Amino acid sequence: MKRKKNNNQPDIPSTDTEFPVETDLSDTDVLSAVPAPPKKKLPGWVIIPVIGVLILAFLGLSFLTSGQSSGTDAGTALATVRASRGTVSEEYNSTGTIESENTKTYYSPVTAPISQCNAVVGQAVREGDLLVSFDTSTLERDNQQAQLTLQSSLNASRATKAQNAKAAEAASAAASQAAAQANALENEVNTLASQVAQAKAQYEANAKAAEAQTQENAARRQELENEISVQQQIIDSSQNIIDSTETGYAGKRADLDAALNIPEAERTEEQKKTISDLEPVFQAYDEAVAARSQAQTKVSALQGELSKLPDISVDDAGYTELKAQYDAKYAEWQAAVQAAGSVSADTGMTAEELKGLDISDNLAELAALTPEELLQKGREGVKADMNGVIASAEAAQSGTAAQGGALFTIASTDNVRVKIEISPDDYAKVKTGTTAVITMGESTYEGTLTAIDRIALPNAQGNSVIGAQVHINNPDGNICIGASAKVRMTIAEAKDVIVIPTEAVNASSDGDFVYVIEDGIVRERPVELGVMSATQAEVVNGLSDGDLVVNDLTNLDIHEGMRAVAQETESE
């Protein structure tokens, strides 16, 4: 709390002020207190002065007692606190909504009736959970029909080729040898095709693992770079203190050391002032040198760890080499087939007719492949590929799924954030990378401010706000998407600094100031403030450790030069 500066002097009672006098002495008691000879009355000129003296004595005693109770002689009693070193933190509090950073909609791979749907809105799911099962009876019938059609086509093709082979028996030995060579190459091609397929699958698995490791290394690299940036800021700020001290106080260290070497009782006022002025400066200088050295050591260690992060390469499991072998062998086989076809043209089918049969076989195989793949996908159903919660379940609205149609949506609970709103007035204080404490119900989590919008927009109440996102670093099973959460961030902190209660700070048109008590007199002291919390304020300039600062909220007439008695209280 801040008070406005008050320059009004206290009202001094005038000499003609009437002071009420209360006494338990009656006139008779007063008279009886004055010795008198028996059987004689005192004359009036004697009684009246005696009564006047007693009244004046009582008034003086009453005035003296009143003055002492209000502190008139020694000064007004004022509550004070000593300026001391401590830590002060400025915190930013906000409330937001928990959101998922990764939301995925799953679509049906087939057109088929849904036999079972385990996707219920709000239900938590784990990676690998089977959420939708299909009735595959129609898919099985379509696949069976496709397989029969394929077999019929292949049988017809084989019959035609068999007739052509019978006609080719009369061909020359060269034609037979060419055909045999083509068949042998075909087997090699088929073997290589199988090996290529296996190598490709292993290559894709290796690539996925390498990608995951690359992302992990990138995340660690970012952490190290962020920490290096933090330590570099410490180095820069410490260097600024060192440079400014070495520039502004060149040669003053010797003066300070000389003054400190003199016994305290023998120091002159100038030497005391030298110590008072220079000791805090060089203490801050020494602390800056130590902080810079420590930060430089940390930067070297972090850079060493950063340089050791490896580059991830992908093992292709021999896929590239096998694919090249396959392509070469396939070309060789095609050439052998063409050679065999040209030889057999004289006695049977032409090469174009044989090629047409191969094309027909390939088309029949492709036509049968699609129903078989769909049947396999239908049998597998649809599974969750991440941990999360069901955000929507379109499949529950209908008993039949259409290929490509939405089935359900999962919101990840492993990657979550809190969406908060920041006042434009606080935009300059809040920085990305700031750590946060997130509270949802009885659960507490660690977080990091990861993003701040660059535009202020009106919220539901019409207030202009800036959107921001706080990533939750350690989510658990208690996380509830859409729930409200409280966010607390420390946006500024000062350690080992002069700290006083905020209510002791006053404000005027000339700036901030405090009242201090020196030798029983109230003095006004201008101050420069730094980090402020709800209860404490950092004093950058204007106070020294141990100064008696007035924080009396009951006396609104405090002013420069008034006499005061300090009633010291402990600073929180």
Residue scoring higher pLDDT (65 or 186): 186
Distance CA 403, CA 114 (A): 12
What is the pLDDT at residue 365?
A: 63
Does 179 score more than 60 pLDDT?
yes
Q: What is the pLDDT of residues 442-469, one digit of tens each?
A: 999 999 999 999 998 998 888 899 999 9
Distance CA 566, CA 549 (A): 9
Domain 171-346 belongs to what topology? Answer: Helix Hairpins (1.10.287)
What is the pLDDT at residue 178?
A: 75
Instruction: Please enumerate in sequence order all residues whose Cβ is within 8 A of that of 75, keeping only pairs 6 or more positions apart, or say none.
Output: 520, 562, 563, 564, 565
Share of the chain above pLDDT 90, in %: 27
What is the pLDDT at residue 252?
A: 86
What is the pLDDT at residue 59?
A: 45
Domain parsing of the chain, residue ranges: 27-76, 80-88+497-569, 171-346
Q: What would you report as the CA-atom Rg of the chain, rounded to the nearest whole angstrom? A: 47
> Count of CB atoms within 10 A of residue 81's CB?
22
Distance CA 215, CA 217 (A): 5
pLDDT band at 62 (very low <50, low <70, confident <90, very high): very low
What is the pLDDT at residue 236?
A: 94
pLDDT average, residue stretch 224-246: 91
pTM of the complete model beyond 0.75: no
In whole angstroms, what separates CA 4 from the centre of its chain? 39
pLDDT band at 68 (very low <50, low <70, confident <90, very high): very low
pLDDT band at 18 (very low <50, low <70, confident <90, very high): very low
Q: Could you give the maximum distance between any two Cα atoms of the chain, in Å?
A: 183
Does 79 score more than 70 pLDDT?
yes
Does 31 score more than 50 pLDDT?
no
pLDDT band at 154 (very low <50, low <70, confident <90, very high): confident
pLDDT band at 24 (very low <50, low <70, confident <90, very high): very low
The architecture CATH gives domain 80-88+497-569: Beta Barrel (2.40)
What is the pLDDT at residue 396?
A: 59
pLDDT average, residue stretch 166-194: 77
What is the pLDDT at residue 312?
A: 80
Q: Structure tokens of 479?
A: 């996380």
Q: What is the pLDDT of residues 382-437, one digit of tens each?
A: 998 988 898 888 765 667 888 888 888 998 888 999 999 998 988 888 889 988 99
End-to-end Cα, the chain, rounded Å: 15
pLDDT average, residue stretch 328-352: 74
pLDDT average, residue stretch 355-378: 76
Q: Structure tokens of 95?
A: 């409330």
pLDDT band at 263 (very low <50, low <70, confident <90, very high): very high
Place of tokens 């190290």: 224
Does 48 score more than 70 pLDDT?
no
Burial 472-486 (b: 16+ CB within 10 A, else e): beebeeebbbeeebb
Task: Give the β-pairing of 564-569 and 76-82.
Answer: parallel
The answer to whether residues 161 and 357 touch, using CB atoms and an 8 Å cutoff, is yes
Does 439 score more than 80 pLDDT?
yes
Does 485 score more than 70 pLDDT?
yes
Does 93 score more than 90 pLDDT?
no
Looking at 51-60, 152-161, 284-293, 423-432, which range is the least confident one? 51-60
Q: Structure tokens of 254?
A: 């010797």
